[in-house]
Amino acid sequence: MGSKAFTESIVLGEMAAQLARDAGAVVTHDAALGGTSNAWKALLSEEIDLYPEYTGTLAQDILKRPDLKTLPELRAAVAPLGLKISEPLGFANGYALGMREDRAEELKIRTLSDLRKHPGLRLGFNFEFFQRDDGWDGLKRAYRLPQTSVTKLEHEAAYSGLKSGALDVIELYTTDAKLSRASIRQLEDDRGFFPDYSAVLIYRADLADRAPAALDAIRQLEGTLDEETMIALNARVDAEGLSEAVAAGELLAERYPSIRIPAAPSRFERIAARTWEHLGLVVTALGFGLLVAIPLGILAAKRPKAGSWVLGGAGLLQTVPSLALFVFLIPVLGLGFAPAAVALFLYSLLPVVRGTHAGLTGIPESIRESARALGLPPAVRLWRVELPLALGSIFAGIKTAAVICVGTATLGGFIAAGGYGEPIFTGLRRDDIGPVLEGAIPAAVMALLVQFGFDRLERQLSRRR
């Protein structure tokens, strides 16, 4: 199962996963895969078999076919891709624009058309809303909106901006539990710009052959979730702090007695599990990084022409934005541990290559001459003389690479790789500082321990020289 990185999608993914498990299937839920693009690519590449989607998003954003208005038309469009679409789950979660109630009342704004009278309004939308055909550009054209102060930011940050008065208008999800709590006025779409966003499950067509009982169990969700139920489920997570798995399990247990509500792990159990996942990423990436980077550093020091290419290539890798690199690797390596480990491996190369190169090229020529005068062959000179003398610089590079890996591994939470990034992204999604600290503090502690450990190892090796 997969789900996008917002509460409702994760809850629906959990409900599908728990129903499938109850039917005897072995299920993994790759939760919070990012935006629509990531979840869709994961489905096409068979990384996942199913995820919750919305009909308007399928037509407008994924298929780029705004002419597809009905479910049979959508099903016909995705059939050549080996995909099927369930019956609607029973509710729609559409886009809307919203303002703080007191601000909207002050300016007498009730509809999207009313926004035309106030060109100075400050607007804030998330990145996906900017890129979608049914997003800002289309909305601006349809309503001839004059506003020019438009900020791109994460959806949860937009709520904070609206609450503080830094923004006047943001985009909303119509089943978001925050709407009632934050006293937000949902502006009427008086020209009918936004399409229908009925919630459905989109899945691989061969799932019916591979796991018929699981699919039948999952499809019990069809037509059983109304808008009120979904808002209440979202509120159980966003307002009351339940995990998505427990919120989904509670509802299913009321309807299907065989479903057992998943036990919520303690804070210690959560941190221990994420520490293990985070360590696995860092040790794997750094281990392979050292095996590759130290020989490349030696090559760069011994062969200056080749060295310029090696250092240039490693430097170029470092310039790729880390989040973009994680996402680029999904089509090749899929989701989870593998793309995260490869991305960290690539980021670990430059500090170690540069440290090894600087250590070896910084050895005084007089020492090299003395080693040659003793008749030592090149390999022995490198192993017995040069590498020990360069040890301080090499370790400086290793420590830098290790700290980079520990910090950057938190982005693994964006592609279902686990680790400390998972609670950080959860906290950002819920606008809750608690989960953010639950990931950020252990990550900082691990970085300090890694630095301390390598310092001690360096001192011990230096005493033996």
Domains (range + CATH), the chain: 7-91+196-255 (3.40.190.10), 95-187 (3.40.190.120), 267-463 (1.10.3720.10)
Q: Is the dihedral of CA 386, 390, 395, 398 positive or negative?
A: negative
> What pLDDT does 111 receive?
95
Q: What is the pLDDT of residues 135-191, one digit of tens each?
A: 898 899 999 999 998 888 877 778 888 888 889 999 998 888 777 666 889 999 999
> What pLDDT does 261 receive?
78
Q: What is the DSSP string of 6-28?
A: SHHHHHHHHHHHHHHHHTT----
Residue 356: CB atoms within 10 Å: 26
- Reply yes or no on whether the pLDDT at 326 is more than 90: no
Which has more pLDDT, 321 or 299? Answer: 299
Q: What is the pLDDT of residues 84-99, one digit of tens each?
A: 999 999 999 988 999 9
Q: Give the C-alpha separation, 26 to 24, whole Å.
A: 7
Q: In what order do the strands lie in the sheet with 123-125?
A: 150-152, 123-125, 169-173, 95-100, 184-186
Q: What is the DSSP string of 204-229?
A: ETTHHHH-HHHHHHHGGGTT---HHH
**Type and span of the H or E element at 73:** helix 71-78
Tell me what the mean pLDDT of segment 332-351 comes to: 89
Out of 73-87, 192-206, 374-388, which region has the weakest mean confidence (pLDDT)?
374-388
Q: Give the C-alpha separation, 409 to 121, whole Å.
A: 39
- Reply yes or no on whether the pLDDT at 83 is more than 90: yes
Q: Residue 144 — left, alpha, or beta (φ > 0 → left; ψ -120 to 50 → alpha)? A: left
Out of 64-68, 95-99, 211-215, 327-331, which region has the weakest mean confidence (pLDDT)?
327-331
> What pLDDT does 19 receive?
95
Q: What is the pLDDT of residues 8-48, one digit of tens each?
A: 999 999 999 999 999 999 999 988 887 788 899 889 988 89
Mean pLDDT of the chain: 89
Tell me what the mean pLDDT of segment 117-122 comes to: 93
> What pLDDT does 442 receive?
93
> What pLDDT does 70 receive?
92
> What pLDDT does 182 receive?
66
